[in-house]
A and B are shown apart, each in its own frame.
Chain A
Amino acid sequence: MSLPLEEREMAVVGCGPAGLCAAITAAKTGADVVVLDENDRAGGQLIKQIHRFFGSRRHGAGKRGYEIAGELERESEAAGVEMRLGNTVLGLFPGGEMMVEDRDGVYVLRARAVVVATGASEKGLAFPGWTLPGVMGAGAAQTLVNLHGVLPGRRVLMVGAGNVGLIVSYQLLQAGAEVVGILDVSERVGGYEVHRLRVQREGVPFYLGHRVVQARGRYGVEEVSVEEVGGASRKVFRADAVCLAVGLSPLAELAAMCGCRMVYSRELGGFMPWHDGDMRTDQPGVYVAGDAAGVEEASVAMEEGRMAGLSAAEDLGAMGRKEAERAKDEVRRFLWELRGGPYGEAKRRAKESVHCA
């Protein structure tokens, strides 16, 4: 028995901002591009973001996440990208061959260039009671609230005071939940000051230097105990949901599977495929972009996607070397600007050590 085989010039896995920008950029040079995503909607993380994005105006900042997703989708259509939603890539093998599952079955797609733009996955936190109904990732809570209109709980304890924890807390308040507190093991809030202030002004208390000890309840979470790190004081919250926003790690299993060397960076969320500044991995014809290449932000994901699209177009011969270099210089300049400031500089240094690893 053999699976149906399809040959294409270029395939992009992941319809988030990184994947869409890679596809648009390459398609504009005349390359034949197909984008696959297991979701039924294009946009990746963006479709559940109802807040206005920070970032640069060139990248849609100031608009709400789902609006940016819609714009990128229209742009891909205009550029002639073929979009295959509801298509899950199950495996990627050397030579650009992948196994894809759609509604009807499984087929094999072979492409001369493959961009892995599969985003990130939420980190977990195990403690007694973490398997009770009501304990969930902040991303899951966000999906419930913003896509399905369901509250994960009436009284929510948020664990993690990074941007994701802050933004999701605000969205839970918007949906009508109470956020009983935002907890972080660190002594300082990791997210941006503006996001901290807008949550704080809604009266949400912060418990810094605290960690979760356990969640208890009969059929679901009813109370959560927390303790001061290194201290004796223990507090018990009455809550029916605990949201974990303790970080994201790059999701790049497909790249690992096809032989890409994986490198580690704490700052960028964990293991990711080694790549150079042009988003090429050590496997010929395989590129990475976006959170899969180190967790950062949507604006960065878009520029990395453009970079990967340019490298792929260049390697496919759809674009001359000189022309590609010119376009890449512009992308490099934007990436440099986006990675400024104390938050960005740490990421920039981490990125540089990944390139050199």
Chain B
Amino acid sequence: MRVSGRKEGGETRVDPWSQAWERAAAGAVAVVDCGERIPCNPCEEACTRGAIEVGEDICAPPRFDPGLCDGCGRCVAMCPGMAVFLLDRSVGNGRARVTVPYEMGEEMRAGREVWAMDGEGKPLGKARVVGAKKRGGRAGTTLVTVEVDEGWALKVRGVRDRLITLEAPLEAEAEPLKEYPLCRCEEVSGPRVGEVAAEFASLRSLRRFSRVGLGYCQGRFCQDMLRERLARAREMEEGEVGTFRVRPPVRPVKLGKLGGEDA
């Protein structure tokens, strides 16, 4: 039976993990956790057994048939969204194996103890790596298999060699600064431009007056920001505000190069 990943045209999404659960009792099976309509299909091509189908409409979420899957893991390595996993419950004894794609720097090898992480990046606990193989050549992705308590099997989404605790931001009031340049090249004040912008009917006149965009970068960084401020000040659409006039050269060039030695 093919079941599509997530909500599609009113259909309720089948949880791909529960879908794989039964079949996983007989050995490793893929869990295709991808249900959005995005233009993507490498998983379909990865599977030589035809278990994953995206079809003509490249935005269709992959449909997966656990019955055709032999758990080879090719799709896990190929998926650019890192959205495919393997689940294996054949070990028994209340244990299960989960395989995740791994692209961080640490070396992963069988026997190592790592942290099993959930989808929110919270540690579930320690787990032992029972398999690690690199797929797809030098630029490959490592498939790391960990053995965990069956109760965690549906929750593991990643592994980590050590825990990192992020320092939470302070709930504090920093003294606000007001002044900043809008144009770095000509050092024109952003707040000042905001004050006078409403007086100008066009982007080009505001540019000439303020000198924003007349510096070395020729407006590459500031043009969009100036347009946005003018549009806001005059309650116009950005599209109505227009653009700078572009003149050559579009990149700074040494005069000597244009004219040669004796120019």
Contacts and interface: CB of A to CB of B under 8 A. Distances in A.
Interface of A: 1, 3, 38, 51-57, 61-62, 64, 67, 88-91, 93, 99, 101, 105-106, 121, 123-131, 173-174, 176, 178, 180-181, 192-195, 197-198, 200-205, 213-214, 216, 223, 225-226, 233-238, 249, 253-254, 256-257, 262-266, 270-271, 297, 299, 337-344
Interface string B118-145: 1111100000000000000001010000
A56 B58 contact: yes
A257 B250 contact: yes
B39 A338 contact: yes
Q: How large, as a class, is the contact surface on chain B?
A: 35 or more
A209 B237 CA distance: 23
Contacts of B170: 235-236
B78 A38 contact: no
Interface of B: 33-42, 44-46, 56-59, 78-83, 103-105, 117-122, 139, 141, 157-158, 160, 164, 166-167, 169-174, 176-182, 184, 190, 220-222, 224-225, 237-239, 243, 246-251, 253, 257-260, 263
Contacts of A131: 180-181, 184
Contacts of A62: 42, 45-46, 78-80
A297 B105 CA distance: 28
Contacts, number: 222
Contacts of A237: 169
B251 A38 contact: yes
B165 to A, nearest CB: 9
The main secondary structure of chain B at its interface with chain A is loop
A337 B57 contact: yes
A128 B174 CA distance: 12
Nearest to B139: A64
Contacts of A56: 39-41, 58
Contacts of B257: 101, 105-106
A127 B221 CA distance: 13
A348 to B, nearest CB: 11
A54 B119 contact: no
A81 B4 CA distance: 44
A62 B137 CA distance: 13
